[in-house]
Structure 1
Amino acid sequence: MFSKLFKATLITFCIFVFVFANALNAKEHPSLILTKEGVEKIRDNLGKVPLFDATVEKIKAEVDKEIALGIDTPIPKDFSGGYTHYRHKQNFVIAQQAGALYQILQDEKYAIYVRDMLLQYEAMYKDLPVHPQVRSYAPGKLFWQCLNDSNWLVFMSQAYDTIYDFLSSEEREKLENNLFRPFADYISLANPAFYNRIHNHSTWGNAAVGMIGLVMDDQALIQRALYGIQDDGLAVGGVDDDGGTIKSENQKRGFLANLEEPFSPDGYYTEGPYYQRYAMYPFLIFATAMQNKLPEYGVLQHKDNVLLKGIDALLNLTDADGDFFPLNDGQKGMSYFTPSLVTAVNIGYYYGNQNPELLSIAEKQNEVLLDQTGLAVAIGVQANMAEPYTKHSVNLSDGANGDEGGVAVLRSGQEDLTAVFKYAAQGLSHGHYDKLSFSLYRKGTEVLQDYGLVRFVNVGQKGGGNYLKENASWAKSTIAHNTLSQNQEMHFGGDYKTGSQHHSDLHFYADHDEKVQVASALETNAYPGTRMHRTIAFINANDFSEPFMLDIMKVSAKKAHDYDLPFYYFGQVIQTNFDYIKPSSLSPLGDKNGYQHLYLEATGKPSADTTQFSWLHEGKFYTLSTLTAPSDEILMTRIGANDPDFNLRSEPGVMLRRNNTQDTVFVTIVEPHGSYSPVTELSLNSNSAIKSLELLHDDKAYTAVRIEDVKGKTQLFVVSNLDAEKTREHTLTIGSKNYRWEGPYAYITAP
């Protein structure tokens, strides 16, 4: 009896200790991103860690400048790019930084600045109407869309946490009742179409509600953040600003669902790296805040540490200069120097076993967070612990379970040549109709491009800084990408709902051989009745000065179609081995599906079985060699037709057109070679090393391509079209020769 009583008493005591400890933690501030313990460690190390000290001084100068200018919280009226939009955005960034400086430097001027700004917002917000620029499916109050309002609350929650104890109880009550709770309710309860979905927009909304809930120890808001609004009253169907479906049957919702659905087990985010970069900030900030305040939920570790995997996936989706590959809607030039990636690198290092390779990225970023994660990174850099972040070839799956296609990144050497092969799912509302497309890079230079998006972000003169109509009519179109277009139609008829039901499938991926790396994938739904099988291979041949890319697009169809295969390059045409005719005036190539935006600059016919097209770009020669038939056409195009506001970049392309054909194979090699210096005026190795291509064999089971160089040496590349087992043994007879190999492909050089 005594034993049972003792055990019961002990259990009760443990529960009391746990609840009491949590209660103390809930009342302790700061406790979201900065913590009490972290602040103490930072103060102990001030003046001792150069990278951290430099960041403090840099941010202090920026914040002091803003304090000197005074606080301005103007009545909202502008789209992104306008003054009021900029001012409110600047306010939340500076407030968050000022709060961190208050904790670190213990200078009350920073707390006073944040307090006075928040009280100004409190006085404004309680009577603030919906934003006057009504364009969004979910208009905000401070900004034209709830997304930006959510940005504001994510940052202001951190600012509030840092000055919480500086404020009087009356000030806190006023801010929480008149500003923070109504703000959280507006972006969630009043806008369920924005809040209750799987999308980067909702991630920001979920994180915003959760962050302010954590500061105020409001369990209802925390649960709403994690699990969404359970009964939102939304009808099935609605469409958002980008044409994506807002609500579907059995819609999942909340922060945890946004961790589950868009991320593959490899950490790839289905909207693409541009939006993954944007969403990683709220993902990581709220997950870190939950780790610090309510670690028992395991949010940061959710789905087998998918957020930490996502950081590595993001870094692998950059070129040699750190720019993100513009898959789906993606602005070129966005890179890992953006503040959200500083956050990702710092949090990833601190919570991810302190990978020393991340320190080399931090060194390049030359900035850290003003919290304990940033201090840890700065200490690691100071201790010379950094190791180079080496990017290798990688195959990243797409889909919540990793079974909805993916993206393969093939890299040769130290990113001497990089191919980005996209065989992924639709990518939600930011996806493009570009199944089996690819782009090609040499170091940090685009060789064959993915156009990216049509938007001038935060440039008010261009549609308020929002997506322009040409994003749908050009950038999302199939013909805007380096992939096959059938009958001048878009994949899935350009229908979002249809495209969202399908994905391409990996046939095989192999990067174990430094000489040959291959990615091969299938698409059977983009055009009903047509099967596309594309294989991209990097070949580092002994007799070539540099690696080259082999591209095999095998098409099987139930009836004859017209096919277009474009390649969008940069630079100056140098030479062709075919004659072409340039029209006296330019006209569009078509009237819809993206063709209306392409000028036809020249038309040619093949003069040989192997057609060659050479150009010069940034001191490097490139030659595209492609297998052609006499009936094929070669079209030289330029983007920009039917573009009255000059929203599109005027960039060239070369297109292979094959009409009235049923089954066919497109075989192409893209070959970097030589160099040209405008300083020395020397042109070296300006001619292609490829003499000819030949399709030696093609049937359902195998496709074999023969490559002959100018010295008469040959190479044979064979793809197993049906059986991709790594250990399967194959035998193929071509003419009088028997070829035997193991695995899904064979690369054979002549002795």
Structure 2
Amino acid sequence: MKSFQTLLLVLTVFYSCNEKKESTDSVDDNQHPKLILTKKGVDKIRASLGSVPIFDKTLEKVKKEVDAEIADGIKMPIPKDYSGGYSHDQHKRNMVVLQKAGVLYQILDDEKYAKYVKDMLMQYEAMYKTLPVHPKTRSYARGKLFWQCLNDSNWLVYVSQAYDCVYNYLSEEERNKLETNLFKPFADFISIGNPQFYQRVHNHSTWGNAAVGMIGLVMDDQELIDRALYGIKDLKLNTTEKDDDGGFLNKDGKAGFLANIEEPFSPDGYYNEGPYYQRYAMYPFLIFAEGLHNVKPELKIFEYKEGVLLKSINALLNLSDADGDFFPLNDGQKGMSYYTSALVTAVDISYHFGTQDSGLLSIASAQDRVLLDDSGLSVALGIKNGKATSFNKKSINLSDGPKGEQGGVAILRNEDIELVFKYAAQGSSHGHYDKLSYSLYEKGEEILQDYGLARFVNIEQKGGGNYLKENKTWAKQTIAHNTVTQNETSHFNAKYEIGSQHHSVLNYFSSENENVQVASAKEANAYPGTEMLRTMAIIKDEDLEKPYMLDIMKVTSNEANQYDFPYYFLGQVLNTNFKYDTPKTLNTLGTKNGYQHLYVEGTAKASSENSKLSWLNKGKFYTLTTLTNNNDELLFTRIGANDPEFNLRREAAFMLRRKNAKNTLFVSTIEAHGGYSPVTESAVNSNSSIKELQLVLDTEDYTAIQITSEKGNIKLFITANTNASKEAKHTIKINDKNYEWSGSYYFE
């Protein structure tokens, strides 16, 4: 520790003395580093060493890590494994260490780091010249170092930064050798050699575009830069050929980095594949954009599409819960959060190149590390100077689609309750068949969950760390989500070709009233002849301890159907107001479309107009109250049937089944209330505060729900099913009483 601090002090004094002299030097357009680090930025970093705590802490940690790797020696296994295997993980490790070692060489001016980068690059050059395509055959686009071109692209994105940092350390002969035998063939292989990977709009292709473009910027190769920005010229592909994710190649003939900005991002910055994949794609999007900004400022990349790249970072941060975990929309692994390294990049770049939002500094402080580059120093100085403020997440509606006209995602927030309402487009090949679905949270803990993906990422024992078959047979199917399934068939019959043509439509979004936050959307294409209108609200009422959720799902069809309406709750059942039977032998709920993965653990017939279920999860009580009739079936189910390899989590659901219904309405509330302490063994406020729900009006234009509390107070919520603009004026009569209001809904 002392030796490192001494080194920082010496460097600080030395570079402070030389800063004025060096700043007057002429600038060479081809000087290095220029990609992510810049010469001017390196000078400023060196002059600041020892005086910026979070930057110095990050630098010390990286130095310790890379020094250990150098001491351990270079490892260069022959590629043979899937994700999680030794060869895969080692080459993945090599690319990260190469990038970090290059940065350390620039900041500390210690030749040992440049030599380490040079020696490893030369070993890769020797290997790559004769390296065949990876022996694992599962991918639609096999790499050489890795089993898929995606990971090869990851490697080049990182290694191009290392090459830039040691460019001037290498001789011209050494650079020619690397570029001729390694970098140019590498870029050609992942692009021209694999157009089915490169030439499309997808997060995979974004990595490929960034890889080709970044090495092109370092090598000053305009052909590679153009190929990165605009795709491969004069290339004809079969646009109906599918990749292994179910997506289509060369979508609409568009390709390249700019197309990958234009198509997946809405004007609000929402990324159509969902936050999990947005997080993954943000690194190549932003790191390549930073390189373009530094080397090709005339492109004004951060202003492209009205600055959507920087907007997208704010959208992504808002798509996280109270703990910073991203909501698992579409294919999303739970637990992925803004503490991942990709979001360190996103936060630092957003602050440095954006509006310098002080709220980003609080997230950077929580991340407890910064990039070791110009943007990281900018953030570190902001934190040091006390500029950090809280990043305030509020209710927000994020549009989907290139022009913001393909549905969206609404997040309703009221105190500690967060509701995520998905009415978006399909989400490319990573989309799920779950129109008008939702999940519910309290302080970052799930109340009602979205299952997420069926995959053990980078765990080789589980399918090589890749998507499992249960991702299609369960996780993507409609019954796996908190929305309506009709006739045991998934939305769009679980066909990507159909689902990708349609999107839900916003009815209205309202967040002006801090006590009542509402989102309402329609879906008319999931089932031919059936329209769904769902209105969801988070309401703060003085009679209840915490805000509660009100859910109104209106279904209109041209024929009678069976509707299944599940609630994927987490925790232990406490009590119900209905009697149920539990079978001695477990049977599945169905045979296909996800039903084959559900065991039936309990059955009942609804016995009252309000059916109630209460449960306990992680020391908190929750109660569901739902409108029912005497023909409704009530089912307790559990995930895990027909899963011999135990790939699925054994989690429960409560399901309302309504048969032989044409037009119908599902109405429910979910309350969070009280808590239990195992230390004091005391339960506080463990009972529901909602006495009754009552449907008092349901027409084509309006639906009105009366909510009676245990204290006897009555509230009325009326939603406009049509003509729901903020300017609309409404007059209706309910039980001989007139109600007049302006706007989308009425609550009193």
Whether the 8 Å contact between 1:131 and 1:140 is mirrored in structure 2 is yes
Structure 1 residues 280-679: aligned runs within 5 Å: 280-413=282-415, 416-679=416-679
Match 2:150 to one of 129, 147, 159? 147
Structure 2 residue 270 is matched with structure 1 residue 235: no
Tell me the CA shift for residue 232 of structure 1: 2.1
CA distance in 2, matches of 1:180, 1:594: 46
CA distance in 2, matches of 1:433, 1:81: 29
1:399-453, Cα deviation, whole Å (9 max, x unpaired): 000000000000002xx10000000000000000000000000011010000000
Q: How many residues align?
A: 723
Structure 2 residue 189 is matched with structure 1 residue 186: yes
Whether the 8 Å contact between 2:695 and 2:705 is mirrored in structure 1 is yes
Q: TM-score, normalised by structure 2?
A: 0.96
2:102 equivalent in structure 1: 99
2:175 equivalent in structure 1: 172
CA distance in 1, matches of 2:55, 2:742: 54
1:461-510, Cα deviation, whole Å (9 max, x unpaired): 00000000000000000000000000000000000010000000000000
Secondary structure at the aligned position of 1:423 is classed as strand
1:12-53, Cα deviation, whole Å (9 max, x unpaired): xxxxxxxxxxx9654210000000000000000111111000
**Closer/same/farther in 2, CA of residues 666 and 25 from structure 1, 3 Å limit:** farther
2:213 equivalent in structure 1: 210
CA distance in 2, matches of 1:627, 1:215: 64
CA RMSD of aligned residues (A): 0.9
Letter matched to residue 226 of structure 2: Q
1:230-268, Cα deviation, whole Å (9 max, x unpaired): 2223112111121212244x3211000000000000000
Identity of matched residues, % = 63
CA distance in 1, matches of 2:259, 2:239: 18
2:59 equivalent in structure 1: 56
Whether the 8 Å contact between 1:26 and 1:217 is mirrored in structure 2 is no
CA distance in 1, matches of 2:632, 2:417: 29
CA distance in 1, matches of 2:113, 2:694: 71
Structure 1 residues 76-87: aligned runs within 5 Å: 76-87=79-90
1:101-149, Cα deviation, whole Å (9 max, x unpaired): 0000011110000000000000000100000001111000000000000
Secondary structure at the aligned position of 1:538 is classed as strand
CA distance in 2, matches of 1:25, 1:292: 13
Secondary structure at the aligned position of 2:56 is classed as helix
Structure 1 residues 682-693: aligned runs within 5 Å: 682-693=682-693
1:338-369, Cα deviation, whole Å (9 max, x unpaired): 00000000000000121111000000000000
CA distance in 2, matches of 1:192, 1:157: 21
Structure 2 residue 114 is matched with structure 1 residue 111: yes
Q: TM-score, normalised by structure 1?
A: 0.96
Letter matched to residue 319 of structure 1: D
Structure 1 residues 249-288: aligned runs within 5 Å: 250-288=252-290
Secondary structure at the aligned position of 1:717 is classed as strand
Letter matched to residue 332 of structure 1: K
Whether the 8 Å contact between 2:414 and 2:538 is mirrored in structure 1 is yes
CA distance in 2, matches of 1:30, 1:83: 32
CA distance in 1, matches of 2:253, 2:502: 18
Secondary structure at the aligned position of 1:522 is classed as strand
1:200 equivalent in structure 2: 203
1:585-615, Cα deviation, whole Å (9 max, x unpaired): 1111111000001111100111210000000
CA distance in 1, matches of 2:253, 2:703: 43
1:210-245, Cα deviation, whole Å (9 max, x unpaired): 000000000000000000012223112111121212
Tell me the CA shift for residue 202 of structure 1: 0.3
Structure 1 residues 693-712: aligned runs within 5 Å: 693-712=693-712
Whether the 8 Å contact between 1:324 and 1:335 is mirrored in structure 2 is yes
Whether the 8 Å contact between 1:589 and 1:595 is mirrored in structure 2 is yes
CA distance in 2, matches of 1:235, 1:683: 63
Tell me the CA shift for residue 96 of structure 1: 0.1
CA distance in 1, matches of 2:698, 2:601: 34
Secondary structure at the aligned position of 2:616 is classed as strand
CA distance in 2, matches of 1:174, 1:350: 36
Letter matched to residue 264 of structure 2: P
CA distance in 1, matches of 2:28, 2:709: 71
Secondary structure at the aligned position of 1:464 is classed as helix
Letter matched to residue 723 of structure 1: N
Secondary structure at the aligned position of 2:464 is classed as helix
2:6 equivalent in structure 1: none
CA distance in 1, matches of 2:731, 2:547: 28
Letter matched to residue 147 of structure 1: L
Secondary structure at the aligned position of 2:588 is classed as coil
CA distance in 1, matches of 2:496, 2:738: 47
Secondary structure at the aligned position of 1:583 is classed as coil
Whether the 8 Å contact between 1:290 and 1:300 is mirrored in structure 2 is no
Whether the 8 Å contact between 2:238 and 2:249 is mirrored in structure 1 is no
Whether the 8 Å contact between 2:517 and 2:539 is mirrored in structure 1 is yes
Whether the 8 Å contact between 1:25 and 1:31 is mirrored in structure 2 is no
Tell me the CA shift for residue 674 of structure 1: 1.1
Whether the 8 Å contact between 1:622 and 1:672 is mirrored in structure 2 is yes
Whether the 8 Å contact between 1:238 and 1:247 is mirrored in structure 2 is no
Whether the 8 Å contact between 1:284 and 1:300 is mirrored in structure 2 is no
Secondary structure at the aligned position of 2:292 is classed as helix
CA distance in 2, matches of 1:198, 1:728: 40
Tell me the CA shift for residue 729 of structure 1: 1.3
CA distance in 2, matches of 1:514, 1:473: 41
Secondary structure at the aligned position of 1:288 is classed as helix
Whether the 8 Å contact between 2:635 and 2:656 is mirrored in structure 1 is yes
Whether the 8 Å contact between 1:33 and 1:158 is mirrored in structure 2 is yes
Letter matched to residue 626 of structure 2: T
CA distance in 1, matches of 2:717, 2:72: 66
CA distance in 2, matches of 1:704, 1:236: 48
CA distance in 1, matches of 2:355, 2:527: 46
Letter matched to residue 302 of structure 2: L
* Unmatched runs of 5 consecutive residues or more in structure 1: 1-22
CA distance in 1, matches of 2:742, 2:369: 49
Tell me the CA shift for residue 300 of structure 1: 2.1
CA distance in 2, matches of 1:720, 1:86: 55
Letter matched to residue 685 of structure 2: N
CA distance in 1, matches of 2:28, 2:672: 60
Secondary structure at the aligned position of 2:182 is classed as helix
